[in-house]
Amino acid sequence: MQQTIFQRIITREIPAAIEYEDEEIIVIRDIAPSAPVHLLIIPKRVIPTINDIAEEDVQLVGKIHCIAANMARKFGIAEQGYRLVTNCNDYGGQTVFHLHTHLLGGEPLGRMNSSSVTHATTTPSRSITSTAVFDVAVFVLVAIGLAIGFNAMNPKAIAWIKPEFERQLATQNDINKYVQNTASPTTQTQQQAQQPQVQPTTDTARKTTTLAVNTATATTAQSTTAAQNATSTQPAAAAPAFTPEPGVVREISYDMFVRLLEGSKHYLIDARSAEKFAQGHINGAANYFGGEVQSRIPDLLSNVPRDRVVLIYCDGGECELSHHVADVLKQFGYGPIFIYTGGWAEWTSKRK
């Protein structure tokens, strides 16, 4: 039978850091220590595993423990405590089949549990930590994976990279090309052109309707209908002939928006969610939610006329929803497209 590494160390065929030796037992430092003190207490008699300990070995095995205690004292770890481990066969993690006991100490080794037993011979204290870290890492990775998956399937998905939109302000000249006159028609009478024809049922509703919005009775289905009907948004009778400007997207102020609403041939889009649209929107607007616009491209193409200015608004601010819609229309050659950056927030406050 081939000699084990420990037999070859005992016969000095292979060198080792010997800490103790007598006629029956040798103690060496482990070549790959798993703790500040890691010694191997090895009986010289050839006993492959714990399973092979015979009656006549009992005293020798007892001696291993006595020597372990002596070595612990020698290394100054007896009082703080240490661990003795003897692995047996494959599941026990035994790699050298010559009976030996590991003496581990010099740092807190933690409690033994089922997972640390598996790794006890290699990293008795760190195994607990590394197992916990591994579990947490797996949990985090699974959570991230699920989040990415749900996000990918969600039509209102969060964009991982914030898109960069063209944010160019329109000039008065840009607006003048499409309105019937160049004066800003923001008089009360002109504002009333945008008032909805609705019957408020409560004080709150009445207040809402005075903001030139439709009532909160609309549903998603109704908003689709609104999308189709919106092609008939009142074109200004004397609006100048439409000059297409494919791909042109400009941001506009409230005054410019009002001028275009009242004086141009236009198609008005509300890019907010169907729920918000249902709660109130600018009269004549069609609803295309910017977060789901990719799925509404066929609708857009069949409903948005090419011979009108496209006006888009959302909540206001960065106008990402409006820009999403504008981007799609731009790709299909629509233009000019004007984004009212004040959006619903400014519109409602101005119309109070």
Tell the smallest beta-carbon distance from residue 130 to ligand 5GP (Å): 17
Nearer to ligand 5GP, 87 or 209 (CB): 87
| Among 302, 320, 254, residue whose Cα is nearest residue 282 | 254
Q: Rule CB under 6 A: which of 331-350 touch ligand 5GP?
A: none
273 binds ligand 5GP (CB under 6 A): no
Q: Name residues contacting ligand 5GP, limited to 106-165 (CB under 6 A).
A: 121
Binding ligand 5GP (rule: CB under 6 A), the pick from 93, 200, 244, 247 is 93
- Residue choice 4, 68, 87, 273 for contact with ligand 5GP (CB under 6 A): 87
CB of residue 76 to ligand 5GP, shortest distance in Å: 21
Q: Output b/e per residue, 204-231; b: 16+ Cβ within 10 A.
A: ebeebbebbbbbbebeeebbbebbeebe
Measured from the CB atom, the residue of 14 and 136 that comes closer to ligand 5GP is: 14
Catalytic residues: 100
CB atoms within 10 A of CB 292: 15
Smaller CB separation from ligand 5GP, 39 or 278: 39
Contact with ligand 5GP (CB under 6 A): which of 50, 96, 117, 248?
A: 96
* Beta carbon of residue 30, minimum distance to ligand 5GP (angstroms, whole number): 5
**Residue 277 — φ and ψ, nearest 5°?**
-60, -40
Side chain identity at residue 112, one-letter code? M
CA distance 133 to 316: 45
- In this chain, which of 4, 94, 127, 341 binds ligand 5GP, going by CB under 6 A? 94
Q: Which of 16, 26, 230, 252 binds ligand 5GP (CB under 6 A)?
A: 16
d(CA 213, CA 194) in angstroms, rounded, equals: 8
d(CA 20, CA 43): 12
Binding piece for ligand 5GP, criterion CB under 6 A, among 27-35, 60-68, 129-137, 263-271:
27-35
In whole angstroms, what is the distance from residue 342 CA to residue 336 CA? 18
Residues 6+ apart with CB under 8 A from 65: 84, 101
Nearest distance from C-beta of residue 157 to ligand 5GP, angstroms: 51
Which residue, 96 or 216, has its beta carbon nearer to ligand 5GP?
A: 96
| Per rule CB under 6 A, count of chain residues that contact ligand 5GP | 15
Q: Does 53 bind ligand 5GP (CB under 6 A)?
A: no
Q: Shortest approach of ligand 5GP to residue 69 CB, angstroms?
A: 20
Q: Reduce the secondary structure of 96-149 to three states and give it as a string.
A: CCCCCEEEEECCCCCCCCHHHHHHCCCCCCHHHHHHHHHHHHHHHHHHHHHHHH
Tell me: does residue 101 bind ligand 5GP (CB under 6 A).
Answer: no
- Phi-psi sector, 198: left (phi>0), alpha (psi -120 to 50), beta: beta
The reply to whether 27 sits near ligand 5GP by the rule CB under 6 A is no
Of the pair 82, 338, the CB lying nearest ligand 5GP is at: 82
The secondary structure of 223-254 as a DSSP string is HHHHHHHGGG----TTPPPP---TT-EEEE-H
Q: Exactly one of 25, 26, 27, 30 binds ligand 5GP (CB under 6 A); which one?
A: 30
Q: For the chain, how many helices (H) and strands (E)?
A: 14, 10
Distance CA 265, CA 237 (A): 8
Among 3, 5, 46, 115, binds ligand 5GP (CB under 6 A): 5
Binding region for ligand 5GP (CB under 6 A): 5, 14, 16, 28-32, 40, 87, 93-96, 121
